[in-house]
Each structure stands twice: as C-alpha cells, then as structure tokens.
Structure 1
C-alpha cells in the first residue's frame, strides 16, 4: 500500500480576494477568503494558485498567516514573472482558483525548546506562520532572524525585547513579531537603519556563539529562503551540530505529486533518492538535501 501522507486534506476552492496590498520592491500582501484551506493549513505548507484566467498554469505560494475562524489565508509574494505580475493585478472581490494546503509542514519538537527561525526575502512567510503557532505554545522560546535585500514589506521598529549576544546597534525588528512578544532582528546588506549589516546566517552565528552549550543544545533551526541561503544554513547547522529543517522552493506544474517536475536529490538511510518538493516536502531535513 502506498502511503499518502496529508493528501486527504488538499482542497480545491474558489477564493475571493480580500486584500491586495503593494509594498516597495514589487512585493505584495495578498489575503484570500479560502475557508477550507484556512481550516487545515499548517506552517510550511503552500497553496497552488491560478493567478489569472489567461494563465492556466498555477503558481505555488507559501502560506504566511491563516485565520481558521474567519476563513482567510495570507501570502507575501514578489513579482518575478508573468504569473505573479498578473496576480498583482487582481483586486478585492475578484476570485481565483486555489488548491491547498499542500505539503509536509514544519514540525517542532519538545527536546528543542529554543527554535531559531531564519527567513530570507520571500522565504520569510513560512517562518511568520511558525512564529504565530509557537506564540501560543509557552514551552518554546523562539528567536527569529529575517533578511532582505529590498525594502522590508513593513516598517521596522526598534526592539522592545533584549537579545544578548548580538552586535551593538542591531535593533531593527518586525513589528508584528514584536507585538506577539517574540524576539526578532533584521539583517540586510543595504544599509537599512538598525539592521545587521550582513547575511542572516552571520547574525545567527553571533547568536549561537553567545549561548552556553546547554542552551545551544536546545536549539533547532527552521529556515526558508533562496537556495544559497539554505545551503549556508545547512553549513551553520553542521558547524554548531544543530538539527535544521529547510523549506525548498522549486518550479511546479501540478503541485500534487503527479508530474514529478519538482524533484530534488536527497540522502536517505538507504542511499540517494529523488523526492518531490510539493508533497514529499517542501520541508526537508537540511542534512538530507545539502549533506
């Protein structure tokens, strides 16, 4: 019998645009009324959207926030091609076809009560979803590091929560996470005020180095972002001997495991294997993908 994990909770529904909000750097915040997806979504999963009736091929977008009671789901995306350009033209009241939620989600474990969340660019959304869930689980003490080389899609503000071990002057935060009471810091090489001047993994190194061994043993890394960033996260995890889960992004056709167009090579206990990012992922152990 072939296992079909999480395949019984993928829904097809006509979603209504509630919010389409433009931000600098061709970034957009999109909120859709999609109650089936909202009821079942887990952090790390994504939805496959038909961006416009003129473009039958769907586009995968990571879920950033959901409200199961109100029945909405939210995405942050950047215009990178024709599909997302057409999506940016949709207005409140428009409808579009949504398939989701899809994929294997992040999974946090009680033996690692200090999650380190690392998000880069449009890889930030899944980590916001993780943070929102963890804020309700008081056994966990997450710390988030978010990076961008274009203006952040929010107005950073000075930190209210002290985080020992960080370089002086690194005080810029995401207001939403601050309001949730979750310590976080921003990184960029663009000289933005209060941000760490460098890569997210460099700031993560500072933080990990500041912990004593017992504290560091409680850390598990969760990351999403460009492939080079994830490779750097995998190296960071190896250096500090920490477990790490990464969310991969690949071009997809069907999005539900049928076409095998999004396969990646992973290392398993029985040797190399090809796994589908859409349904075998998008969450993988970093060591499986990056060695």
Structure 2
C-alpha cells in the first residue's frame, strides 16, 4: 500500500533487495521503493520502521537512488536497539518507510569546484550528491570521506591525481573513482593509503593548492558529526566560501509535527527555531554555526 504525504513524501512498504554487513557494525541495505526513489534528492532521508515491536521510526540518509529501477540504498551503523533489530532483516522481507523527507542540497550556479565532505554515517548524502553531479559538465567535485572505523567498502588506490594532496594519500572509494570523481579518504586509525588526520586538515591542504580564482568557484557541502560540521563551517568562513551542512538529530515523527528536532538558526529577522526534519536537514552553515 502506498499513499502520498505532503505531496512528495510517501508511506511505502519497501522490499529488501540486498542487505550487506561490513566491519565496524555497518550495513548497506538496498530497498525496492519506487515512489521514494522517484523523488529522492541528495540530502533527503527516510523514516523507517526498524521492527514491528518498535513503534518509533528511525531516520536514515539515502545514499543512492535509481529512478529507473526503483531502488534506494541506505548506509547505517548498528548502535542501539532499533538498528540492532534492523540489522537482522533479510532480503525478501518488507519494511515500512516514509520518504523522501527533507530539504536537499542545492548547488549554487557558478561554483564549478564543489568540495564534498562526509564523516562516518554522514558519508551517504555526499555519495548521493557526487553521483548527481556526475553528468554535470560544469562541475568538478572533489570528495573527502572520513571514518574512524573501517570504511564500508574496500578502499583502492585512486587513478585520479589531485594536486595538493600529500604523496602516499591515494586511498579512494572505488565507486567514486569509477565515476571519474576525485576523492580521498581520511582517518586517524592508520588505514593504508588514507590521510592520517581530520577531513578538515586534508581539505585545508587542498585549498592551499588552489589559486584565488579557483577558490572563488568552491562551494562546500558536508554531513557528519556535529564537531566535524562545526570545523567545516569554520574552515568555510576562513576561506570565505559558501557552505551547506546536513544536520543529524534525533527525531520522533520525522514530518515536522512534533518539533522534537528543532535547532536555532540565524535568519534575516533574527534567531529562529527550525525543524531539522522538514526545514532541513540541509542548512547554510553560517546560519547554524556562528
């Protein structure tokens, strides 16, 4: 059964196509959800039922979406009761999802050098955004992904050289590399080929190699833990480039009714409380971190 909600959000019984487990208690689930897949955009998420015994849904970002084949991919980490129950589901079973929800990332015209930064379970929106930019000839995205647990894919040496990146920092996400999108991985866990440090430290090295004209074409998009986003916002301010961030908050209803996920945002009329689920999750970084 599928019924529309708010004209673009659907309640859908989605069938699990595949469910892969990775090190670090990470999972990638592919769901057959044609209505959600048709409307999903980078930055949107689904609110799903992890198990019938849990009435509260959980928000999970969409990592990829196929309009033609009707599937969406979700990356999540097993951290509590809900995701522990979700991890037990098998292909062929069905899960109730509500989505796609949220205000997506919107690239600004004239910024041809987008920098995408994803940390931990904040990686999915960046992968989705990178794929959406794949066919845009005027965009040359560079993606930095960070994780303190093994990445949910097997890193491989990149075939794409990135000026300003230290020698030996060659680990990449194979999918992004196959798409022709420059990317590098960062971690403090001494993974082979990864930058040993924070994603913002690697991004800063990349910035320092750009001339002034090229820097003026940079726009940052980021998703990850709050401290990482705060550091990204500070870096964007330092380099004087626009920045959009996707916030991660606990949610109850996921559709704006309960106001349980509000954050303070600076607006032209002064501070305002905004709901992360429907007013976000994407916000201008300067409006949240100031």
Q: TM-score range by the shorter chain?
A: over 0.9
Residue deviations 1:149-206, cap 9 Å, x none?
Answer: 0000111111101100111211100000000000000000000011000000000000
Give the equivalent residue in structure 2 for 1:228: 227
Partner of 2:199: 200
Q: What is the TM-score of this pair, normalised by structure 2?
A: 0.98
* CA apart distance, 1:224: 0.3
Q: Secondary structure at the match of 1:8?
A: coil
For residues 111-146 of structure 1, give each alpha carbon's deviation from its aligned partner in whole angstroms, at most 9, with x where no partner exists.
111100000011000000000010011110000000
Is the counterpart of residue 36 in structure 1 residue 35 in structure 2?
yes
Is 1:73 paired with 2:75? no
Deviation at 1:110, TM superposition (A): 2.1
Task: State the alpha-carbon separation in 2 of the partners of residues 251 and 270 from structure 1.
Answer: 27
Question: Which residues in structure 2 correspond to 1:1-291 (within 5 Å)?
Answer: 7-291=6-290
* Matched pairs, number: 286
CA distance in 1 between partners of 2:76 and 2:6 (Å): 25
Deviations 1:76-103 (A, max 9, x none): 0001110000000010011110000000
Q: How far has the Cα of 1:49 moved from its partner?
A: 0.3
Aligned equivalents of 2:90, 2:199: Cα separation in 1:
34
Write the distance in 1 (CA, Å) between the matches of 2:53 and 2:71: 25
Q: Secondary structure at the match of 2:38?
A: helix
Q: Displacement of 1:56 after TM fit?
A: 1.0
TM-score, with normalisation over the residues of structure 1?
Answer: 0.97
Aligned counterpart, 1:3: none
Q: Which runs of 4+ in 1 moved over 2 A?
A: none
- What SS class does the counterpart of residue 43 from structure 1 fall into? coil
Separation in 1, partners of 2:166, 2:131: 26
**Following TM superposition, by how much is the alpha carbon of 1:288 offset from its aligned partner in structure 2, in angstroms?**
0.5
